[in-house]
Structure 1
Amino acid sequence: MTINELNDAWVNAGQKVSDLQAEANAMVNVDDVTVEDITKVQNNVKAAKAQRDLAYQNLVDARAEEVASMSDKDVQPLNGEEKADKIKFIDEFKGMMKNDPTIINSLTSSTDEQGNAAGLTIPVDVQTAIHQLMRQYDSLEQYVNHESVTTASGSRVYEKFSEITPLVNLDDEEGEIKEQDAPKLTLIKYVIKRYAGINTVTNSLLKDTADNILQWLTTWIARKVVVTRNQAIIEKMNAVPSKQTLSKFDDIKDLQNKTLDPALLSTSMFITNQSGFSELAKVKDAHGEYLIQPVVTQPEVKQIGGKQVVVVADRWLPNQAKDTFPLYFGDMKQAITLYDREHMSLLSTNIGGGAFEHDQTKVRVIDRFDVEATDSDALISASFKKIADQPAATAPTA
């Protein structure tokens, strides 16, 4: 769907909510209304609101994707209203950092879901710029399933790929779905957590231009967020139940070809740390070819048997034991979901964090998200110390 079509879908979904709410309000004055009627309209309103929120998120995601794929020549200057919003954000940021009582009072008067001061909300276009920067810092978030949510907690029902049952043929007029054909569903609950970081803002920065302030903010926040989210994702990767020990070339081929449902192979990848990648890069097959090969059209992207190899710094994905390297293989989008509240905010202090003692002003950023494992069969965890080369092929005798 185009951006305009997504926008129309959002508007229409909003109108549907209004119509259903009007219908619910009218029931108050109807004498013969039943409990069933009330329950039905309440459920309809709830479902319509969920559809409206989904339509809006689809629109936001599409706009973000459009921005991310734009080249410099495609970028249009901000219109008057957009410029005003960005200037307002920078003015409020400066006022917050200078402890302007008007700004501080407005920011601390409202609270988030946990009852804490909401702070200065980062505008959507600035958050988009932050997420664009995150891609440059080897963000694991791009490989897992990303779901935007509007509530602080909730639940989702998933069906493991390996346990999906086929649809039942109901051509028979009296056909029915038997109990044993019901899908095996797993309930996944998420609770949005608050992750915070603090940085010191200098007076010279506050005197700088709006563009330079935004560049400083987006770079600092992007680095903080990508490291924080990577760590949360890796915790779920380390918790997968299936673990294997590898020692030779063919073990890696078995890991790739035998451990997952074949339907997941086309979307699967390898993940290891920098030390593990260095070790794997030395391994050769029977014909003297290296196990790890570059993608022909993108030499900087490495692969094993046609599957991408993602490398994470040792600092964030450490060895499991001395000289024991991690190696994961699977479909990360099936295995792990990041629930993103998409409500980054800023708040300053000249008292906490040592700011008062050093006559400084500090700014705190809060990111709100949760990461949960959704399909434990879609990702395999393995480890290795050294991988032996494949035995050299012998030339056939005459």
Structure 2
Amino acid sequence: MNKELRELLAKLEQRKIEVRSFLAQDKTKEAEEMMDEVRSLQAKAKMLQELENEERGNLGSGEELGGRNTDLEKREDSELEREYQSIFLRGLRRQGVTADMRSIVQEYERRAVMNEGETNPAIPAGDSHLLVPKDIQTQILTFMRSQHSDLGEYVNEITVGTLSGSRVLESMDDMTEFPIIEEYGPIPEIDNPKFQNIEYKVKKRGGILPLTNELLADSDQNLVAYITNWIGRKAIFTRNMQIIRLLKTLPKQDLANFGDIKSVLNVGLDPSISNTSTILTNQDGYNWLDQLVDSQGRPLLQPDITQAGGYLYKGRRIVVVANKQLPSDTVNGKAPIIIGNLKELIVLFTRKFFELASTKEGGDAWRRDTTEFRAIMRNDIKIWDPGAAIFGQLDITDEV
């Protein structure tokens, strides 16, 4: 979007605000006169947008010019990203947001395509209920991937662009072979029902982070790093608890000893599931497993060379969750141990973007002389194939 069009859209937005102000004062005549200008500005903006699109289309004719057009769009996107991130940080610091800045926000959200549904494109000055910029989103996701405690790594995460919908999935247990097709013959239907329709409805989840005004006045880099770390950790913990709550709904199976664990891997699960399984347990269960040795005194768990501090059993990764998140049954001396392919078991539907809002007046911000941040994420979680994992209750009372 060029500067002329951006300025025009900013002026159009300001005139709309004035119309609403006249209507609120019952000044219908003044509102109608202002609406004439609004309509004129809308028509001019439409024509400028058409001209810009046509110019881009002309640049795109021919292979060489097409390359130039792509480079131009990349430069525009990069410039827009920088401008938007600057406005985003101004909003977080509760600094004024001008009409021209609001037009940049609108353009950024239009290009982002996946608007979270709660972002108000006509934000008042100083408001910051905005999509987190792409570069900062990337930093958050990179941080999350670097944390070995994120259970979201082990489930099937699907990014969705709508607040509700469905996906048709075929589980390994129900999968059928492709039938033979004769030459010029029709393709026969595969046995039904084999596909499962899973509906989702993403829910809004959010948390509050109070920041001192001294930290808020720090450099952009330090502020972004602090927020990235906080959002990443909160998002990991939130997803972990969602996954754990869903795991607890599985039927429980008593495992008296290590032989029972091997039986689950050998015959309790389909081979295609078993070969790609993880062994998820808590600290108590891991402590018990870590002390297992063979007849020659060698540990049964082997170091995972792909993950520092990680361990494997026959190629299956051992995933450890804190006792406080996945507690043991201390009365009966049993530790939870979930064996299976969690990507086949659980589907996590997630919206791509986080949102951030800040206030100096609401909540406890005024009393503490701080600025409060509200982070918002949206997701939903469902069981896909309940046969893809077994929730074992491991007896850890016996000596290993």
TM-score, length-scaled by structure 2: 0.69
Q: Greater Rg, structure 1 or structure 2?
A: 2
**Distance between the aligned counterparts of 2:86 and 2:199, measured in 1?**
37
* Residues 274, 311 of structure 1: 8 Å contact kept: yes
Residue ranges of structure 2 left out of the alignment (5+ in a row): 1-73, 110-114, 122-128
2:198 counterpart residue number: 188
Out of 294, 297, 302, the residue aligned to residue 303 of structure 2 is: 294
1:98 to 94, 97, 102: 94
> 2:313 pairs with 304, 327, 340, which one?
304
Contact 1:94-1:206 at 8 Å conserved across structures: no
Matched residues, number: 310
Alignment match of 2:365 (pick from 341, 347, 355): 355
Query: Are residues 336 and 140 of structure 1, via their aligned partners in 2, closer, same or farther at CA, if it must alter by over 3 Å?
Result: same
Give matches, 1:230-245, under 5 Å: 230-241=240-251, 243-245=252-254
Q: 1:115 to 1:343 in 2, by over 3 A?
A: closer
The CA distance in 1 between the partners of 2:394 and 2:262, in whole Å, is: 14
1:71-100, Cα deviation, whole Å (9 max, x unpaired):
xxxxxxx98964763464244333343263
Tell me, in whole angstroms, the C-alpha distance in 2 between the residues paired with 1:306 and 1:85: 43
> 1:360–1:257: structure 2 CA closer, same or farther, 3 Å change rule?
same
- In structure 1, what is the Cα distance between the partners aligned to 2:137 and 2:102? 21
- In the other structure, the counterpart of 1:316 is 325
Asked if 1:160 is matched to 2:171, the reply is yes
Mapped pair 1:129 → 2:139: yes
**Quick one: percent identity of the two aligned structures?**
33
The letter of the residue matching 1:92 is F
- Deviation of 1:228 (Å): 0.7
Question: Which of 223, 237, 240 is the matching residue for 1:227?
Answer: 237
Tell me the CA shift for residue 167 of structure 1: 2.5
What is the deviation of 1:327? 0.5
Residues 157, 185 of structure 1: 8 Å contact kept: yes
- Local SS of the residue matching 1:357: helix
Tell me, what secondary structure is at the counterpart of 2:256? strand
State which of 177, 180, 183 in structure 2 corresponds to 1:169: 180
For normalisation by structure 1, the TM-score amounts to 0.69
Matched residue, 1:68: none
Q: Which residue of 2 aligns with 1:149?
A: 160
- The offset of 1:260, in angstroms, is 1.2
List per-residue Cα deviations over 1:283-339 (Å, max 9, x = no partner): 233443333222357562201122110111122222245432110111111111111
Partner residue, 1:55: none
Letter in 1 for 2:279: F
The CA deviation string for residues 193-213 of structure 1, in whole angstroms up to 9 with x for no partner, is: 111011112222222211111
- CA–CA distance in structure 1, aligned partners of residues 119 and 307 of structure 2: 47
Could you tell me which amino acid in structure 1 is paired with residue 166 of structure 2? S
Aligned AA (1:341): R
**Residue in 1 that maps onto 2:266:** 257
Q: Say if 2:95 is the partner of 1:89.
A: no
* Whole-angstrom CA distance in 2 between matches of 1:298 and 1:220: 24
How far apart, CA to CA, are the structure 2 residues paired with 1:354 and 1:299? 41
C-alpha contact (below 8 Å) 1:97/1:363 kept by paired residues: no
Give the partner amino acid of 2:93: M
Secondary structure, counterpart of 1:356 in structure 2: helix
* One-letter identity of the residue aligned with 1:162: D
Structure 1 unaligned residues grouped into runs of 5+: 1-77, 391-398
Cα separation, 2, equivalents of 1:159 and 1:81: 38
Which secondary structure does the structure 1 equivalent of 2:338 belong to? Answer: strand
Residues 1:216 and 2:226 are matched in the alignment: yes
Paired AA for residue 202 in structure 1: T
* CA RMSD of superposed structures (Å): 3.2
CA displacement at 1:388 relative to structure 2: 5.3
Instruction: Tell me, in whole angstroms, the C-alpha distance in 1 between the residues paired with 2:158 and 2:359.
Output: 32
Give, in whole Å, the separation in 1 of the partners of 2:360 and 2:345: 43
> 1:152·1:192 contact (CA, 8 Å) conserved in 2?
yes
SS in 1 for 2:366: coil
2:267 paired with 1:246: no
Opposite residue 145 of structure 1, the aligned amino acid is N
Distance 2:197 2:329 in 1: 30
Change (3 A) 1:245 1:315: same
- C-alpha distance in structure 1 between counterparts of 2:292 and 2:176, whole Å: 40
Aligned to 1:371: 381
